[in-house]
């Protein structure tokens, strides 16, 4: 193949590969948050006033049965702060193989633990500025995280095999890009912890539009 023709072919192939992905955007109709379970008469004793919790969004993801997904990047991690006596963010998603840290930003002890089957752990009690151990999540599924000292504190973490996910904004809006063309299931975990799903067809270079509701 002549050199000029070869270069033209390679440029075309690279452009074709770059465009051979699409995305999905839309809206999840949010419902009421499931309230945290606390002991009867629970009255937290704190050094400073408890700040309001962040708005509770939904988690949206795209998956296909039997698909081999791209792996998470080595060393990928997120930080989930304990600040104002709340987990921030209180809703988060990550891919299997990723990790999380839990820095304490308050002026008293916190304790971070989970009894969820995908990842059980207990970091014990630690003060502000003490280093939080990094927890790796190797199995998919929901991981509910709590503070043993402050029962109202709760973080909902969803571990997913797929790398195509997003957390909505407070209006339920989301966008996910970089998805190879094909037919997929699109799912959402609502603030009530109920799940909704639908089917979406992803086309090269296009963004599909969906609305998810109960």
Counting Cβ atoms within 10 Å, is residue 9 exposed (0-12), middle (13-18) or buried (19+)?
Answer: exposed
Domains along the sequence of the chain with CATH: 21-33+48-67+168-214 (2.60.40.1120), 74-161 (2.60.40.420)
Cα gap 23→62, rounded to integer Å: 10
* Dihedrals phi, psi of 93, to nearest 5 degrees: -130, 150
- Burial code (b: 16+ CB inside 10 Å, e: under 16) for 73-99 equals eeeeeeebbbebbbbbbbbbbbbbbbb
- Burial code (b: 16+ CB inside 10 Å, e: under 16) for 167-191 equals ebeeebebebeebeeeebebbbbbb
Cα gap 178→173, rounded to integer Å: 18
Counting Cβ atoms within 10 Å, is residue 6 exposed (0-12), middle (13-18) or buried (19+)?
Answer: exposed
As a whole number, the mean pLDDT across the chain is 91
Whether pTM exceeds 0.95? no
Cα gap 156→86, rounded to integer Å: 12
User: How do residues 45-91 score in pLDDT, each as one tens digit?
Assistant: 899 999 999 999 999 999 999 999 999 888 899 999 999 999 999 99
User: How do residues 114-162 score in pLDDT, each as one tens digit?
Assistant: 999 999 999 999 999 898 889 999 999 999 999 999 999 999 999 999 9
pLDDT tops 90 at residue 30 = yes
Cα gap 214→29, rounded to integer Å: 8
- Given a contact cutoff of 8 angstroms between Cβ atoms, the answer to whether 133 and 104 are in contact is no
Confidence label for 104 from pLDDT (cuts 50, 70 and 90):
very high
Helix, strand, coil share of the chain (percent; to 5): 10, 40, 50
């Amino acid at each position: 193949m002549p050199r000029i023709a070869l270069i033209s072919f390679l440029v075309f192939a690279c452009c074709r590969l770059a465009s051979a992905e699409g995305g999905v955007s839309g809206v999840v109709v949010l419902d009421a948050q499931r309230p945290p379970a606390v002991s009867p008469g629970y009255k937290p004793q704190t050094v400073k006033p408890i700040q309001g919790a962040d708005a509770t969004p939904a988690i949206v993801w795209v998956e296909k049965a039997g698909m081999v997904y791209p792996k998470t990047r080595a060393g990928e991690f997120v930080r989930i702060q304990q600040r104002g006596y709340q987990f921030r963010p209180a809703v988060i998603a990550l891919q299997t193989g990723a990790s999380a840290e839990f820095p304490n930003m308050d002026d008293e002890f916190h304790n971070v633990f989970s009894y969820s089957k995908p990842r059980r752990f207990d970091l014990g009690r630690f003060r502000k500025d003490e280093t939080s151990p990094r927890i790796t999540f190797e199995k998919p599924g929901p991981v509910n995280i709590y503070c043993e000292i402050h029962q109202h504190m709760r973080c909902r973490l969803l571990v997913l095999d797929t790398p195509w996910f997003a957390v909505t904004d407070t209006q339920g809006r989301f966008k996910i890009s970089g998805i190879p063309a094909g037919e997929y299931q699109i799912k959402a975990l609502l603030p009530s912890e109920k799940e909704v799903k639908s089917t979406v067809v992803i086309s090269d270079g296009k963004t599909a539009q969906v609305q998810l509701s109960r």
